[in-house]
């Protein structure tokens, strides 16, 4: 095998709670993560040039050690003293810096792909152990599916799959700094926390309405006052027939859960017509068969 092509899936947070700030600067979280079929295409090819080379379709993205996918490739090359290099091509489709984990998904794809390409023999758990050194969401992006994430995001427990639905992704044209959102959260006295256990119970029962009724993201309390258009999009999606709508991660992306695909398409057109966002996608939830 000289090349491998992979789909790096985006993620949404069905539930996101922050429990506190650790001494090392990381936050303790309790989240329910869900991968969806919105993805970047990642192609990895062996190279006789002993280095890591990255190219993307977005000219403003870094292609050096500032790129997390580059870091992932360099990590495995250094650890296993690989004589060959790699050429990595990333076709970006996941909105950048949008709360959808696109960068982490790219890094996870590189770890997974190089493990296969160079026959390194690493297990999923061993890949996840390396992933956490790159970013808190990388281990999840290796595991994928419906998962409870705890600790700083590295303690992962697979959950029953999200019942079949359509996810409408809306990314408004605003920039959100994750670091600033968490810093603002630390300065507030947060009293309302999402019901993560209620979410897990609804997933156990295969109850989509129950899942939607228990969705919650503690970071909305910080991000929405700074960017009220996020709440406007939420309300528009609900009015358009979404079972539920919520911000993903620290934002600014909002997602709506739809049972009916036609309703999802009508909502997508409405978002365009009202010029609320240009990056709007419909995706199915991703199911992982385990065991």
Contact 18, 31 (CB under 8 A): no
Residues 32 and 215 sit within 8 Å (Cβ to Cβ): no
User: 217 by DSSP, 3-state: which?
Assistant: strand
Residues 6+ apart with CB under 8 A from 201: 210, 214
Distance CA 225, CA 260 (A): 31
Q: What is the mean pLDDT of residues 168-193?
A: 90
CA dist 150 and 32 (Å) reads: 9
pLDDT for 291 equals 64
- Domain boundary assignment for the chain: 3-158, 166-284
Q: Decide yes or no: CATH 3.30.70.890 for domain 166-284.
A: yes
What is the architecture, at CATH level 2, of domain 3-158?
2-Layer Sandwich (3.30)
Average pLDDT, rounded, for the chain: 96
Closest CA to 90 of 65, 118, 68: 68
Mean per-residue pLDDT, 155-161? 97
Segment 81-97 shows an average pLDDT of: 97
For the cut 70, the answer to whether the pLDDT of residue 273 exceeds it is yes
Distance CA 111, CA 39 (A): 16
User: CB-based burial of residue 268 (10 Å sphere; 0-12 exposed, 13-18 middle, 19+ buried)?
Assistant: buried
pLDDT at 170 over 70: yes
pLDDT score of 197: 98
Q: How many CB atoms lie within 10 A of CB 289?
A: 6
Does residue 186 have a pLDDT over 90? no
Q: Which residues are marked as active site?
A: 11, 137
What pLDDT, on the 0 to 100 scale, is given for residue 165? Answer: 97
pTM for this entry:
0.95
For the stretch 10-54, pLDDT in tens is 999 999 999 988 888 889 999 999 999 999 999 999 999 999 999
Q: Is the dihedral of CA 181, 217, 154, 37 positive or negative?
A: negative
Determine the distance from the C-alpha atom of residue 129 to the mean position of all C-alpha atoms in its chain, rounded to a whole number: 18
């Amino acid at each position: 095998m000289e090349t491998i092509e992979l789909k790096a899936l985006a993620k949404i947070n069905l539930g996101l709670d922050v429990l506190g700030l650790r001494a090392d600067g990381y936050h303790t979280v309790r989240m329910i993560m869900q991968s969806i079929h919105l993805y970047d295409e990642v192609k990895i090819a062996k190279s006789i040039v002993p280095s890591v080379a990255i190219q993307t379709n977005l000219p403003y993205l870094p292609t050096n050690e500032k790129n997390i996918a580059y870091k992932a490739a360099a990590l495995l090359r250094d650890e296993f003293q690989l004589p060959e290099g790699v050429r990595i091509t990333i076709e970006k489709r996941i909105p950048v810096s949008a709360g959808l984990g696109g960068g982490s998904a790219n890094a996870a794809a590189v770890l997974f792909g190089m493990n296969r390409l160079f026959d390194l023999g690493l297990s999923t758990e061993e890949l996840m152990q390396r992933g956490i050194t790159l970013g808190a969401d990388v281990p999840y992006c290796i595991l994928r599916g419906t998962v409870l994430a705890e600790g700083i995001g590295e303690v992962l427990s697979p959950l029953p799959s999200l019942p079949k639905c359509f996810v409408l992704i809306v990314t408004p044209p605003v920039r959100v700094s994750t670091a600033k959102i968490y810093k603002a959260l630390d300065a507030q006295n947060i009293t309302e926390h999402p019901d993560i256990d209620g979410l897990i119970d609804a997933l156990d029962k295969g109850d989509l309405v129950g899942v939607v009724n228990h969705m919650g993201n503690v970071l909305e309390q910080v991000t929405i006052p700074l960017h009220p258009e996020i709440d406007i999009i939420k309300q528009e999606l609900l009015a358009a027939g979404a079972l539920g709508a919520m911000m993903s991660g620290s934002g600014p992306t909002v997602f709506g859960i739809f049972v009916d695909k036609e309703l999802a398409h009508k909502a997508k057109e409405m978002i365009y017509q009202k010029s609320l966002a240009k990056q709007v996608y419909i995706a199915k939830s991703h199911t992982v068969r385990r065991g």
